[in-house]
Structure 1
């Protein structure tokens, strides 16, 4: 199968880098690097797919694109030098910038999917460019175009926040090593089920169904 015939899957991870993430920095780094290995494995298991990863880390000091649509085979581990928790939580700005950027990057493609994963241990408290209503409208529009969204949160009303942002797949975790490890294990199972369903021709909505409920 030629590369052009493969179904391209863009995995966008929007990762909280605010100061409160310091307490779970190590399991978060480990979990992300295991996620990369999961996606690498998926590309081997599903040769009809070509995977890319974008990683955006955000806090009140900066919103940084650490990985920008990199082919999964060329990825390097996320290290403590690259991930430095500090400051506040401009969640809406991070989402707005990241989603608009990837939308522009994929606007001329047809055979592709986008799986957006948002991980934060606190509620929005520092955005200046985007408000909640604008992000909700953006997520709703992109969902109708076939994008999939998952929201992973701690220390706030996760279900309510996800619903306010038009995200229908959410999960709550605790700011402990054990809980973060369990979270990434659930994400691994959900991802593999999603990729499997997409490989079988299911829609993005069908593929995302039951994301957090895999055995």
Structure 2
């Protein structure tokens, strides 16, 4: 195993519903990419996009050579074959790493899955299969999986796929929410890559950012607004200056 080498895999939803946050997805991804290029250590990156069609934009590319997304390379369309995209990316990554000698394999393998809608078009894989695949890679090879979901209960969706609650976050499908989601992933990944954090688990500050961006308050990971409410009440009770 090669220390200080991270293999990054991004599974990015480009279904038609992503059109409303297209520019922010492009901007958020590009900011994430720029930050990772500044992190010490070697890294390769795979970017897979999906709607009802699966496309590998680039695979195992040296991170410093990875191009930004543009309006031409990220075009929302079609439906959401989420499970097929996850399954195919796991299989191709597993085969690629299996073909490497042990001394050359990465010390960290990180999967980031980002979607704004529910599965509705997969033909090859079902949720039970994906759950088994993810748990196998986690338990056997210590792969790290992150799930970001908008317009859904991301904790429950991730749980069905075998991803622990701490590594899942509901995000607001808005300009602020989308960019904050990528910012959180970039921060947590940078920490893990330099061994400053044991996992990609989201922190309270990440979930608060999504709450403030407007994530639905019925999401189980949305922090309560009690603190803000109490502060507002306290402020309103202050006597007026004469």
Distance of 2:205 and 2:6 partners within structure 1: 20
**1:105 counterpart = 2:96:** yes
- Report SS of the residue matched to 1:64: strand
1:32 corresponds to: 29
Distance of 2:21 and 2:45 partners within structure 1: 22
Tell me, which stretches of 5 or more residues in structure 2 are unaligned? 207-242
Partner deviation per Cα, 1:121-175 (whole Å, 9 max, x = no partner): 0111100000000000000000011100000001112111100111011011111
Q: Moved runs in structure 1, 4+ residues, more than 6 A?
A: none
Instruction: Please report the TM-score for the alignment, with normalisation by the length of structure 1.
Output: 0.87
**1:58 counterpart = 2:50:** yes
- The structure 2 residue matched to 1:148, chosen from 133, 144, 152, is 144
- The structure 1 residue matched to 2:14, chosen from 17, 25, 38, is 17
CA shift at 1:38, angstroms?
Answer: 1.4
- Report SS of the residue matched to 1:35: helix
Distance of 1:109 and 1:88 partners within structure 2: 38
**1:172 counterpart = 2:170:** yes
Larger Rg: 2
CA shift at 1:194, angstroms?
Answer: 1.1
Q: Which stretch shifts more, 18-27 or 107-116?
A: 107-116
Distance of 1:52 and 1:152 partners within structure 2: 21
CA shift at 1:7, angstroms?
Answer: 3.4
Distance of 1:178 and 1:214 partners within structure 2: 15
1:203 corresponds to: none
CA 105–24 in structure 1, closer or farther in 2 if over 3 Å, else same: same
Q: Please tell me whether the aligned partners of residues 187 and 212 of structure 1 are also in contact (alpha carbons under 8 angstroms).
A: no
Instruction: Please report the TM-score for the alignment, with normalisation by the length of structure 2.
Output: 0.78
What CA RMSD, in Å, does the superposition of the two structures yield over aligned residues?
1.7
Tell me, which stretches of 5 or more residues in structure 1 are unaligned? 201-205
Partner deviation per Cα, 1:31-88 (whole Å, 9 max, x = no partner): 111111111111xxx2xx310110000001x100001110011111111101110111
Q: How many residues align?
A: 199
CA shift at 1:109, angstroms?
Answer: 4.2
Distance of 1:75 and 1:181 partners within structure 2: 19
CA shift at 1:211, angstroms?
Answer: 3.5
CA shift at 1:193, angstroms?
Answer: 1.4
